[in-house]
Chains A and B, each alone.
Chain A
Amino acid sequence: MEYILEMKGITKEFPGVRALNNVTFSVRKGEIHALCGENGAGKSTLMKVLSGVYPFGTYDGKIFINGQEVQFKSIHDSRQAGIAIIYQELAVVGEMSVAENILLNNELIHRKVIDWNLLYAESMKWQKQIGLDIDPQTKVRNLSVGKQQLIEIAKALTSDAKIIILDEPTTALTESDVELLMNILRDLKAKGVTCIYISHKLSEVLEIADSVTVLRDGETISTDPVGDMTEEKIITKMVGRSLTEIYPYEKRKLGDTVLEVKEYSVTHKGTGKQIIKDASFALRKGEILGVAGLMGAGRTELFTSLIGGYNNGKYSGSVNVEGSEKNIKNPSDAIEAGIAYVSEDRKRFGLVLGMDITKNTTLASLKQVMKFNVIDQAMEVKKAEEINNRMKLKAPNLEVKVSQLSGGNQQKVVLSKWLLNNPRILILDEPTRGIDVGAKYEIYKIIVELAKQGVGIILISSELPEVLGMSDRVLVMSGGKIAGELSRNEATQEKIMALATGGKNI
């Protein structure tokens, strides 16, 4: 069988990071080809190169479709060539009808006067192709996420897609919807459509795919027929690197329990879906507790909810800080209780970009720098300077707007802001994301230093080496539950991945 798609020697660099390094990826005509890898392995980047999101010229390497070299300058180009990509975050227009969504790229909808009946009839034709039968006038907003996904697939078919890319299609689906999707994929395969299937759920991959390609650290590890693979083999390929970076971990004497969470559940206010189910764990003084899990496992939801910052959810369960029960309803309650949360998206949740360093630093602890209800500039500047010196912040002066700082220095400002409150519990959500290696090491040192001073630290990270290198203990989350707990000695990448993907313990 010939290859419908070949990507050869693809290299893509971002400032300071080589996201893809000489990647080769070949897909046979009419197969379902799974693409596996850890978060950050380069799967999404590779698909963005393929679909023209990163246009020709911004990467090195060649792409061939049916043996012909192609150069996509935009998403439009790749769509013309028959490539359709369906993202994890759906791109349907909720307020529009099913028919309009399916035919959004079709000329029928761009006529000066739209023939609605024709539009509806045409949309039914495409729906039938994938075994759907929804009233074409229904607003897409009213459909389940699974159905919305199928609408996107139907839409992809209308543009005569030869290759459909599905990025984590089943994370938000119920089991029956997953089954429906699987059947449709098999159906499409029978019709000769090629599928690239990106998924963390290895059981699904083994069930549906014909071949598996594994990416790790931006490189192709292998491509194998599914028949030769097992879950264990795929996991080993996905994580199999050694600890190359150095972590300034030091063995510490741990203190008493500082935080105890029991049977903590979070329900989504809108959908009533349970996002976190019965999470229970404890944290000791001076301990670094790593939290691992795949995207969508509920890590961020659990901890933002714990500090009262998750507005879409209602929680139940108990939270004890140093032995006394706390009812944390909003972030200021959390600050009161001595809990600080450094969010994963520092630009969105951590900083006021238009403000200077000093003002950002003192934002969560203004009371400390006030005299008679008036901000004392001298005290404010002194405090901000002290703490930022401890963080080894590099800036021309503290009146520079934080938007002008590098990612690593911005993260230090966020850390300063929270450390000014002298927290007893510090929750760090992806503290080193998008930061260069040198700054990473400095942040690790700060973490260890704080732990030595007795601060209980929760380190949420998608980078397994980081979790393994820094933590005294690792919690693994999967599907909104705490799937397991591993001590520093027993934790390995394989064990974490097995727990995180819902597989059995190896």
Chain B
Amino acid sequence: MKANLNNNSGGKSSFSSKISFKIDLQAYVLIIAFLLIVVIFGFFTGGEFLSSRNVSNLFTQMSVIALLAIGMTLVLILAQIDLSVGSIVGLTGGIAAILQVWHGWDTWAVVLAAVAIGALIGFWHGWWVAYRAVPAFIVTLAGMLIFRGILIGITDGQTIAPLKESFMAIGTSYLPYLLGYILAIIGIVLMFYFTYRQRNKRQSLGLIVPSHIVSYGKITAYSVLLLLVVYMLNRYFGIPVPFLIVLTIGIIVAFVTMKTSFGRYLYAIGGNPEAAALSGINIKRNTLWVFVIMGALAGLAGILLTGRLNAATTSAGTSYEMDAIAACVIGGTSLMGGKGNVIRSIFGALIMASIDNGMSMMNLEAFWQYIVKGSILLFAVWMDIYSQKKATV
């Protein structure tokens, strides 16, 4: 029977190569869509869209939604939803600004407070969803109203500004050029190292290994892209700090989802809650934790947003939950649960931000952004359903 399990390990049989081709296709669609967007906007803005200044702006602008999309991916994998994140962003940003502007707190303390309050709000939501069995849609819809209300109440409806330099720096500063290149090169070396190790490991286990050209070609392409982006960013002011925060957290959460039991359990619960429960997985506790993580990330997003705007307003973060959900869905996360990938969701956030940014550069009126974003969302989900249907036939 050993032979039965291993006879495809070379990856040469038609069966296995078909499978891997299918999976890759889904990933490539995302990249192709992004390139299409880049080309179209590049053309209509006379290349301005691809200028260093704009690329830098784009990565800064996407950061808040990308952070939310990271957390939202976990929530969606569980087949839950969180509609309150926009309000949490607003409230935590508002509290941070109040603590600093009115009470003179230091920046580090303010950051901790915002993240902690975000986590606490997440705990509140998670408790209702997990231990009181109220549907997440309702709990977080209520949260969306409640926390927006609290924000307006505690700020008296005022805009709170200005913040200390150090606070602003979180949302607006850049890495020194040299450090940017060093990080990029470390990243590239690590990518090659991990690909090499992964290939060896899989080979020794008798698993399917893609050909050298495919795996190293992919990494080379990523490396070139990474260097190109860093070069362009460095031509302006360097890698934006908010983007670095997103990348760091994205990598950590991606690791957690792929390599820890907590991550594995999330996919199992979302995929089949009844089977997961009978396998001894504590659904309630894991659900609670996911909402806590979502809340904490929303708190961090609140800091980024407030720092970038150098002010906290009562409408900050409004409807961000929709952008975050859209980013996840464009990245291939299923609202039915059990399926999702953090890195792709960040990519989805980049696509959403590109559309906003590109269309405003084209001087199109704001209403077009809504229409185009809505259409793309609908199309992305249809693509997902269509490809899944094909895969099951």
Nearest CB of chain B from residue A24's CB, rounded to whole Å: 39
Instruction: Using A385-B5, A397-B16 as known contacts, say yes or no to A353 and B271 having CB atoms under 8 A apart.
Output: yes
**Other-chain residue from A332, A343, A353, A359 in contact with B264 (beta carbon distance below 8 A):** A359
- The verdict on B260 contacting chain A, using a C-beta distance below 8 Å, is yes
Residue of B nearest to A374 (CB): B259
Which residues of B sit under 8 angstroms from A335, Cβ to Cβ? 280
Nearest CB of chain A from residue B337's CB, rounded to whole Å: 9
Q: Is the CB of B260 within 8 A of A364?
A: no
- The verdict on B274 contacting chain A, using a C-beta distance below 8 Å, is yes
Q: Is the CB of A363 within 8 A of B9?
A: no
Which residues of A, 89-124, contact B by the 8 Å Cβ criterion? none
Nearest CB of chain A from residue B390's CB, rounded to whole Å: 14
Contact with B along A377-395 (1 / 0, CB 8 A): 1100110010011001111
Which residues of A, 339-381, contact B by the 8 Å Cβ criterion? 341, 343, 348-355, 359, 363-364, 366-367, 370, 373-375, 377-378, 381
- The verdict on B363 contacting chain A, using a C-beta distance below 8 Å, is no
Which residues of A sit under 8 angstroms from B212, Cβ to Cβ? none
Stretch of B94-102, B158-166, B203-211, B297-305 on the interface side = B203-211
- The verdict on B375 contacting chain A, using a C-beta distance below 8 Å, is no
Contact with A along B261-300 (1 / 0, CB 8 A): 1001101100110111111111000000000000000000
- The verdict on B12 contacting chain A, using a C-beta distance below 8 Å, is no
Q: Is the CB of B5 within 8 A of A355?
A: no
Residue of A nearest to B198 (CB): A377
Provide the bound-state CA to CA distance between A455 and B113, in Å.
54
- The verdict on A22 contacting chain B, using a C-beta distance below 8 Å, is no
Residue of A nearest to B15 (CB): A396
Which residues of A sit under 8 angstroms from B13, Cβ to Cβ? 396
Nearest CB of chain A from residue B351's CB, rounded to whole Å: 25
Provide the bound-state CA to CA distance between A389 and B205, in Å.
14
Number of A-B contacts (CB under 8 A): 109
Q: Is the CB of B201 within 8 A of A396?
A: no
Which residues of B sit under 8 angstroms from A367, Cβ to Cβ? 261
- The verdict on B8 contacting chain A, using a C-beta distance below 8 Å, is yes
Q: Is the CB of A397 within 8 A of B9?
A: yes
Q: Is the CB of A349 within 8 A of B264?
A: no
Contact with A along B298-336 (1 / 0, CB 8 A): 000000000000000000000000000000000000000
Which residues of A sit under 8 angstroms from B271, Cβ to Cβ? 352-355
Q: Is the CB of B260 within 8 A of A374?
A: yes
Nearest CB of chain A from residue B68's CB, rounded to whole Å: 25
How many chain B residues touch A (CB < 8 A): the figure is: 39
Q: Is the CB of B282 within 8 A of A382?
A: no
How many chain A residues touch B (CB < 8 A): the figure is: 44
Instruction: Using A331-B280, A335-B280, A364-B280 as known contacts, say yes or no to A370 and B275 having CB atoms under 8 A apart.
Output: no
Instruction: Using A363-B264, A396-B16, A397-B16 as known contacts, say yes or no to A352 and B338 having CB atoms under 8 A apart.
Output: yes
Which residues of A sit under 8 angstroms from B371, Cβ to Cβ? none
Which residues of A sit under 8 angstroms from B282, Cβ to Cβ? 330, 332
Instruction: Using A355-B271, A389-B5 as known contacts, say yes or no to A381 and B207 having CB atoms under 8 A apart.
Output: yes
Contact with B along A38-77 (1 / 0, CB 8 A): 0000000000000000000000000000000000000000
Residue of B nearest to A376 (CB): B259
Q: Is the CB of A331 within 8 A of B279?
A: yes
**Other-chain residue from A331, A382, A394, A396 in contact with B278 (beta carbon distance below 8 A):** A331
Provide the bound-state CA to CA distance between A359 and B278, in Å.
15
Instruction: Using A377-B201, A388-B5 as known contacts, say yes or no to A352 and B275 having CB atoms under 8 A apart.
Output: yes
- The verdict on A491 contacting chain B, using a C-beta distance below 8 Å, is no
Nearest CB of chain B from residue A425's CB, rounded to whole Å: 15
Secondary structure call for the B interface: helix
Q: Is the CB of A309 within 8 A of B268?
A: no
- The verdict on A399 contacting chain B, using a C-beta distance below 8 Å, is yes
Which residues of A sit under 8 angstroms from B265, Cβ to Cβ? 366
- The verdict on A86 contacting chain B, using a C-beta distance below 8 Å, is no
Q: Is the CB of B5 within 8 A of A397?
A: yes
Q: Is the CB of A363 within 8 A of B276?
A: yes
Which residues of A sit under 8 angstroms from B272, Cβ to Cβ? 348, 351-353
Which residues of B sit under 8 angstroms from A398, Cβ to Cβ? 5, 207
- The verdict on B2 contacting chain A, using a C-beta distance below 8 Å, is yes
Q: Is the CB of A364 within 8 A of B279?
A: yes
Residue of B nearest to A370 (CB): B261
**Other-chain residue from A373, A393, A403, A417 in contact with B279 (beta carbon distance below 8 A):** A417
Q: Is the CB of B261 within 8 A of A348?
A: no
Contact with A along B115-150 (1 / 0, CB 8 A): 000000000000000000000000000000000000
Which residues of A sit under 8 angstroms from B279, Cβ to Cβ? 331, 363-364, 417
Q: Is the CB of B278 within 8 A of A343?
A: yes
Instruction: Using A373-B260, A398-B5 as known contacts, say yes or no to A341 and B278 having CB atoms under 8 A apart.
Output: yes
Which residues of A sit under 8 angstroms from B206, Cβ to Cβ? 385
Q: Is the CB of B339 within 8 A of A352?
A: no
Provide the bound-state CA to CA distance between A382 and B6, in Å.
12
Provide the bound-state CA to CA distance between A309 and B279, in Å.
10
Nearest CB of chain B from residue A478's CB, rounded to whole Å: 26
Nearest 6 CB-CB pairs, A to B?
A: A332-B280, A352-B271, A364-B279, A366-B261, A335-B280, A352-B272
Measuring CB to CB, which residues of chain B are less than 8 angstroms from any residue of chain A?
1-2, 4-9, 13, 15-16, 19, 201, 204-208, 259-261, 264-265, 267-268, 271-272, 274-282, 338-339, 392
Measuring CB to CB, which residues of chain A are less than 8 angstroms from any residue of chain B?
307, 309, 330-332, 334-335, 341, 343, 348-355, 359, 363-364, 366-367, 370, 373-375, 377-378, 381-382, 385, 388-389, 392-400, 403, 417
Given pairs A348-B274, A397-B208, 6 additional interface contacts (CB within 8 A): A351-B272, A373-B260, A374-B260, A381-B205, A397-B207, A417-B279
* 16 cross-chain CB contacts under 8 A: A331-B279, A343-B278, A348-B272, A349-B274, A352-B268, A352-B272, A363-B281, A364-B279, A377-B205, A389-B2, A393-B5, A396-B16, A397-B5, A397-B6, A397-B8, A397-B9
